[in-house]
Amino acid sequence: MGVSISLKDKAALVTGGGRGMGRAIALRFAEAGCKGVAVLELMQDEALEEVGEEIKKRGSEPLLIAGDVSDCEAVRKAVDSVVQKWGRIDVLMNNAGIGRRGDFFNTPEDEWKKVLDVNLSSVFYGMKYAAGYMKEQGGGAIINMASMSGVTGGTQGPHYSASKAGVIALTKFGAMTLGKFGIRVNAMAPGYIQTDMLEALFKDPEVRKQRWATIPAGRPGDPQEVANMAAFLASDLASYVSGDTMLVTGGRLS
Ligand SMILES: NC(=O)c1ccc[n+]([C@@H]2O[C@H](COP(=O)([O-])OP(=O)(O)OC[C@H]3O[C@@H](n4cnc5c(N)ncnc54)[C@H](O)[C@@H]3O)[C@@H](O)[C@H]2O)c1
C-alpha cells in the first residue's frame, strides 16, 4: 500500500497563482483533492482564466480573484471570499512575489519599499487574516514562499534578501504563536527555479551557465518540484512539521 499526499475536502488560497510556481502549486493542490482552490492574482487575465480551467479539469472548484497582495484590504477580501464560498480556509499559500536585482549604491528607496510591500507585508496580511478563521475552525496550514536568498543573504539585492529573510522570521513567529490553535506555519526556500522571474533576472546565457554550475543537481528546478513540497506541507502528512524552512535547491546550500 503506497502513501499519497491527500488534500481531500480542503479549501486553499494561493497568491500569485497565475504563473510560475504559484500556478504549479494551485494545480497540484487541485490534483491532491482540494474541494476548492482560490487564486489571488494581480489581473483577471487569460492566464488566470486558464488556471481556473485547469483546476476544474482536476476535479476541484476554482475561485479567481483579482487583487494586489501588497494591499491589505485586497488580501482580507480574498481570504473572506474563500470562507464565504467554502465555509473555511484550510491552506494559505503565500506565494506572490517580485524579483529585483541591485546593490547598496543603485537600489532606489521606492524600489526597496515596493519589494518589502509585495514580498513581506503581503505575507503578514495573509497570515493575519487567514489565522483568524483557522483559529475559529480549529486549525490550518500556512506556507510562505521565502527563497535561498533569505537563508544565505544571497547576491540578488538587499531588498529581495531582506524581504525573504523577513518571511522566514514571520514563519517562525507564526509557528510559535499559532501552534496552540492547530495552525502549522512553514516556509519554502527554493533555489533557481525555471519561471518567468528567473528568465527575467538571468537573461545573459553566460551568467546563466555560471549560476547553473553552482547547482549540485546540475540544473534549475521545475516549478512542479516546488509544488510537490507545498502539497506535502499543506497535507496532514506534515502534521508535526511547523516553523521550518524547506530548501528546494537541488542541493545548493550557499
Ligand atoms: N523563480 C525562482 O528561481 C525563485 C526562487 C526562490 C523564490 N522565488 C519566489 O517564488 C515566488 C514565485 O516566483 P515565480 O518565480 O513563480 O515568479 P513569477 O514571476 O513567474 O510569478 C509570480 C506571480 O505572482 C504574481 N504577482 C506579483 N506581484 C503580485 C502582487 N502584488 N499581487 C498579486 N500577485 C502578484 C505575478 O502576477 C505572477 O503571476 C516569489 O515569491 C519569488 O520571490 C522564486
- CATH (domain of 226): 3.40.50.720
Which grid cell sits at 165? Answer: 529573510
Counting Cβ atoms within 10 Å, is residue 129 exposed (0-12), middle (13-18) or buried (19+)?
Answer: buried
State which amino acid sits at residue 40.
L
Determine which one of 133, 160, 192, 240 is catalytic.
160
Position 43 scores a pLDDT of 96
The answer to whether 125 is a known catalytic residue is no
Q: Residue 201: its pLDDT value, please?
A: 87
Output the pTM of the full model: 0.98
Domain count, the chain: 1
Report if residue 204 sits inside a domain. Answer: yes
Q: What is the pLDDT of residues 134-156, one digit of tens each?
A: 999 999 999 999 999 999 999 99
User: Residue 59: its pLDDT value, please?
Assistant: 98
- Whether 5 is covered by a domain: the verdict is no
Task: Give the domain range for residue 153.
Answer: 11-246
State whether the beta carbon of 41 lies less than 6 angstroms from ligand 1: yes
Q: What is the CA radius of gyration of the chain?
A: 17
Q: Which atom of ligand 1 is nearest to the CA of 226?
A: 10
Q: What is the pLDDT of residue 231?
A: 98
The grid cell for 153 is 543573504
pLDDT given for residue 178 in this prediction: 99
Pick out the chain residues at pLDDT < 50. none
Say yes or no: CB of residue 21 within 6 Å of ligand 1: yes
Q: What is the pLDDT of residue 16?
A: 98
Evaluate whether residue 4 is within a structural domain. no
- Flag whether 1 is in a domain: no
In a domain, 254, yes or no: no
68 lies in some domain: yes
